[in-house]
Chains A and B, each alone.
Chain A
Amino acid sequence: MELTEKDALTLSKLISKREVSSKEVVDAYLNRIEKVEPVIHAFINLSAELARKQALEIDEKLSRGEEAGRYAGVPIAIKDVLSTKSFHTTCASRMLENFIPIYDATAVRKVFNAGCVMIGKANMDEFAMGSSTENSYFGVTRNPWDTNRVPGGSSGGSAAAVAAREAPWALGSDTGGSIRQPAALCGIVGLKPTYGLVSRYGLVAFASSLDQVGPMTLNVKDCAALLGLIAGHDPLDSTSIPRTPDEYLSGLTGDVRGLKAGVVKEISGEGIDPDVLSCFYKGIGALEECGVHVEEVTLPSFEYALSAYYIIAPAEASSNLARFDGIRYGFRTECDCADIWEMYDRTRSEGFGGEVKRRIMLGTYALSAGYYEAYYAQAQKIRTLIIRDYNRAWDKFDVLLSPTSPTTAFKIGEKIDDPLTMYLSDICTIPVNLAGIPAISVPCGFSKGLPVGFQIMGPPLEEARILNVAYALEQSLNLDMRPPV
């Protein structure tokens, strides 16, 4: 079996036992990348040289019997929205095409400290705004299951890289579904942690109150391992939770007998593709066989989740993205401007893509004097209602279930000119971000040869629980998730 067919934990064991060297593993992935990347385009910038150098260093350490980190020598793809010191971080935007940060994001620092080798910075929708990775300034990423289709987004590059075995695992970020939806569309596992579990320091902000960094992996075990690596309090992020994270990996027993699960009616029926639904219900069946009690639950406020999200996220984004002004770093217009105001206008007009500009305008409007109460304040009230709905559900259920995405991977270009249809791609994932709870997407089958994702949501900080349910489902379905690429 090819090295690139193995999961991250297996590779980690092989390297630590010195059955293979990190160099061999990295070379295997670089070869694989060379082969499939021209079609998939999962990366914006590859760090091949750096990776080879890092691998050699780790091999040397291991040969001297030194500690080289928990997952030493295992390659990783990093979404290009996470700051990497001395290496390009573009956010898939012309605005940051040539930007090289001077510090590492906390999550990045943690994977480096564990000895992981960065193989490249993964493609995404510009500033993480989108559901298809078509909004990248550097071109679209293709779905390894059908290269005429999108990988989902915004972490489409990370998802495609893992699915196409260009990296055994990846870091993504999730503001409204940006980890889970592409994981579903590419047939991998993706987890959005509880807000505050993983530090946001160095994650270029889209919507600060919703953003979370999370793992994207081939299977649930890898997901638990990578989550364990990046979770934990960070004094550099005031919103990070001061608490030692649970032992996720050792908690994976697959024993879910007696657990109570609720199927969320509002996002598991109307508006969901029938094939996706039937696949989802096969997953429900599998869980029931594992001893889970499944019932339907109605969470009425979910009806307004999408509207609330498209006020709050753009509002925060309009402020977060104000710093890209051509003054201190990043793109600046070539034009000989009359004054600074013209410089701002031209830099931002030329530097940002269409979707980013659309959301900046939406957000600016929503925060404007006279509209704040009608939009932003209302949206926050809906957010409170959604949290209340969830809390009511937790009285009765241990986990909540739904499909991850209303459809399987759609065709490149199919929705790009229709933002409202595109926004509906995140209808199942958005309530989770608004409530700040954890959720995981795990494959539950195929519809017309394309993977379908199964979403498991849990109460705040119950990552261990949702991982274990996902693990039970994964073991019970035992799907072959190797794409044709």
Chain B
Amino acid sequence: MDFETIIGLEIHAELSTKSKMFCGCSTVFGGEPNTKTCPVCLGHPGTLPVANRKAIEYAILLGLALNCEIAERSIFHRKNYFYPDMPKNYQISQYDIPLSRNGFLEIDMGEYKRRVGIIRVHLEEDTGKSIHVGESGRIHGAERSLEDFNRAGIPLVEIVTEPDLRSPEEARNFMMELRAVLEYLGISDCKMEEGSLRCDANISVGVGGSRGTKVEIKNMNSFRALQRALSFEEKRQRDVLLKGGIVTQETRHWDEAAGITHALRTKEEAFDYRYFPEPDLVPIEPDPPWVEELRRSLPEMPAERLRRFISEYGLPKDIAKVLVYDKKLGNFYEETVRKGENPIEIAKWVAGDLAGLLNEASIDADLSPVRPGGVSELVHLVESGVISGRMAKDVLKEAFESGESPRQIVSRKGLSQIADSNEILAIVKQVIKENPQAVSDYLDGKEQALKYLMGQVMKLTRGKANPKMASEMLVEALKMRE
């Protein structure tokens, strides 16, 4: 059968403002439960929300970065439903008049690119966090539930895409691209594991050109989970269709441990939110000059930077991508380049060994123990032949662990290559003298013997001989033997 998978995403990102969306409480992650609260975000009687201007600014920046139209006038709505982590039992959100809409974001799939439509970007407030005590771990059947309102009221942007994605890989790529955009704008921490970036998906599998039934998938807490869940769901729906069945329109929960999706009880989703305009807030009417100012202040976006890294530094695309999709790593790279060494060599080290070390230690590039100056030094040592590439790997690792500069490590450990021709010549002569068989083999035309002799030179110098010099001198000395 001819299947077509159609995916749309609904993404929530916490904005990294200092204070909450509608009150002055801190947004710093963690802390004792219910310590980052006040009468407003606890929904005490008589309190009123006041919109955070910085959050509006951030949401407009995102709208602009996603090529959206910014509404001259948008309003907040109340979304009414009862849940213990919602202090007011309504969420202040936006509904039919969002802050921005009609945008797009392009993703690069290697062989092709896809422009994914953005239906809307709007502002809302986050809820608190519930911990349900009891076997189910869910609110149904809980013995008791504990509530932490530290996150209640943290500003969120909701981004809704058109159903333009055609595979789980595209969905994952879109999320990576969006995360990079948020990171480049500096408006969100984008940590899926901490919940500051969340994603729900709608997926349908159609047959022979007709549209399939839309199924909503929730609880995908990492990029990997997103792709796994959607792949599972794609296959599940295909199997249902292959067996002649009908896909049910429902909401399904991704179970990361079991690697499957399962249907949620319908009671949890059968809400009528009774949206109506929030009477406690005035419309958002951003001044057009302010919006223009924000547009002008937009930083370079990841896609532009990728193009520039390739054209300006001559980087291969795969290496450039590693550098660009981690903004801090990209910044580290450019800072290193400014110190004057070969950009391609630097890129190999930063995107390769250094990125590996950072990743292993879970350290962001801006906090790397080896600074751009260190990497520049390392590249210089290799380029000028002081140490070999092989040695440089160990030096970088040691510098990363100890914080010592590569130059210090090289000199302290006497690691520098022997580039003194007399010293190398002496060893070359010794090797020739001690290995007559190999020498005669070589002179008989057995090229293999040269490798053996070269190995002996490196062995005697404990690997420190400049290999290029050593091999040239060895060949020269052997020639004289002929």
Binding site for B on A (CB under 8 A): 82-83, 89, 91, 96, 99, 101-103, 105, 200-205, 207-209, 235-239, 315-316, 318-319, 322-325, 327-329, 339-341, 344, 364, 367-369, 372, 376
B342 located at the interface, meaning its Cβ lies under 8 Å from any Cβ of chain A in the complex? no
Segment at the A interface, from B78-86, B414-422, B426-434, B462-470: B78-86
Choose from B44, B48, B90, B272 the contact partner of A238 (Cβ within 8 Å).
Answer: B48
CA A248 to CA B281, docked complex, whole Å: 28
Given contacts A102-B44, A328-B42, contact A364 B50 (CB under 8 A): no
Interface string of B104-141 (1 = CB under 8 A from A): 00000000000000000000000000000000000111
Given contacts A91-B45, A201-B48, contact A340 B84 (CB under 8 A): yes
A-B contact pairs, 12 of them (CB 8 A): A99-B45, A101-B44, A102-B44, A103-B39, A203-B46, A236-B48, A238-B50, A318-B80, A319-B90, A323-B89, A367-B276, A376-B276
Given contacts A364-B274, A368-B274, contact A322 B89 (CB under 8 A): yes
The answer to whether A201 and B276 have CB atoms under 8 Å apart is: no
Choose from B45, B139, B145 the contact partner of A83 (Cβ within 8 Å).
Answer: B45
Q: Which residue of B lies closest to A240 (CB)?
A: B48
CA A208 to CA B282, docked complex, whole Å: 12
The answer to whether B82 and A344 have CB atoms under 8 Å apart is: yes
Residues in chain B near residue A344, CB distance under 8 A: 82
Residues in chain B near residue A208, CB distance under 8 A: 279-280
B166 located at the interface, meaning its Cβ lies under 8 Å from any Cβ of chain A in the complex? no
The answer to whether B88 and A323 have CB atoms under 8 Å apart is: yes
B406 located at the interface, meaning its Cβ lies under 8 Å from any Cβ of chain A in the complex? no
Interface centre among B46, B48, B82, B281 (most CB of A within 10 A): B46
Choose from A205, A319, A324, A340 the contact partner of B274 (Cβ within 8 Å).
Answer: A319
Sorted nearest first, the 6 A-B pairs with minimum C-beta distance are A322-B89, A208-B279, A367-B274, A209-B279, A204-B45, A202-B46
Residues in chain B near residue A102, CB distance under 8 A: 39, 44
Q: How far is the CB of A283 from chain B (nearest CB, A)?
A: 34
B43 located at the interface, meaning its Cβ lies under 8 Å from any Cβ of chain A in the complex? yes
Residues in chain B near residue A328, CB distance under 8 A: 42-43, 87, 147
CA A99 to CA B82, docked complex, whole Å: 21
CA A364 to CA B89, docked complex, whole Å: 13
- The secondary-structure label for the interface of chain A is loop
B142 located at the interface, meaning its Cβ lies under 8 Å from any Cβ of chain A in the complex? yes
Q: Which residue of B lies closest to A205 (CB)?
A: B46
**B28-69 contacts to A (CB < 8 Å):** 39, 42-51
Given contacts A315-B276, A340-B139, contact A323 B48 (CB under 8 A): no
CA A385 to CA B280, docked complex, whole Å: 22
Interface size class of B (residues with CB under 8 A): 20 to 34
Interface centre among A103, A318, A340 (most CB of B within 10 A): A340
Residues in chain B near residue A339, CB distance under 8 A: 139-142
Q: How far is the CB of A201 from chain B (nearest CB, A)?
A: 5
- The secondary-structure label for the interface of chain B is loop
CA A319 to CA B142, docked complex, whole Å: 26
Residues in chain A near residue B281, CB distance under 8 A: 238-239
Interface string of B262-287 (1 = CB under 8 A from A): 00000000001011100111100000
Given contacts A208-B280, A339-B140, A367-B276, contact A323 B46 (CB under 8 A): no
CA A203 to CA B45, docked complex, whole Å: 8
Residues in chain A near residue B84, CB distance under 8 A: 325, 327, 340
Q: How far is the CB of A169 from chain B (nearest CB, A)?
A: 21
CA A329 to CA B44, docked complex, whole Å: 8
The answer to whether A323 and B45 have CB atoms under 8 Å apart is: yes
Known: A202-B47, A239-B279, A318-B274. 19 other contacts (CB 8 A): A83-B44, A101-B39, A101-B44, A200-B46, A200-B48, A201-B46, A201-B48, A202-B46, A204-B45, A236-B50, A238-B49, A238-B50, A238-B51, A316-B279, A323-B43, A328-B147, A339-B141, A340-B139, A368-B272
Residues in chain B near residue A318, CB distance under 8 A: 80, 274
CA A167 to CA B22, docked complex, whole Å: 37
Residues in chain B near residue A364, CB distance under 8 A: 274
The answer to whether B272 and A369 have CB atoms under 8 Å apart is: yes
Residues in chain A near residue B87, CB distance under 8 A: 323, 328
Given contacts A238-B280, A238-B281, A340-B139, contact A325 B47 (CB under 8 A): no
Q: Which residue of A lies closest to B51 (CB)?
A: A238
**B164-188 contacts to A (CB < 8 Å):** none
Choose from B46, B51, B139, B275 the contact partner of A204 (Cβ within 8 Å).
Answer: B46
CA A262 to CA B332, docked complex, whole Å: 75
Residues in chain A near residue B141, CB distance under 8 A: 339
Given contacts A322-B89, A340-B145, contact A237 B44 (CB under 8 A): no
CA A99 to CA B50, docked complex, whole Å: 24
CA A89 to CA B46, docked complex, whole Å: 11
The answer to whether A96 and B276 have CB atoms under 8 Å apart is: no
Choose from A96, A200, A207, A325 the contact partner of B82 (Cβ within 8 Å).
Answer: A325
CA A341 to CA B140, docked complex, whole Å: 9
CA A323 to CA B139, docked complex, whole Å: 19
Q: Which residue of A lies closest to B132 (CB)?
A: A340
CA A341 to CA B90, docked complex, whole Å: 16
Residues in chain A near residue B282, CB distance under 8 A: 238-239
Residues in chain B near residue A324, CB distance under 8 A: 45
CA A369 to CA B271, docked complex, whole Å: 10
Q: How far is the CB of A19 from chain B (nearest CB, A)?
A: 37
CA A61 to CA B80, docked complex, whole Å: 50
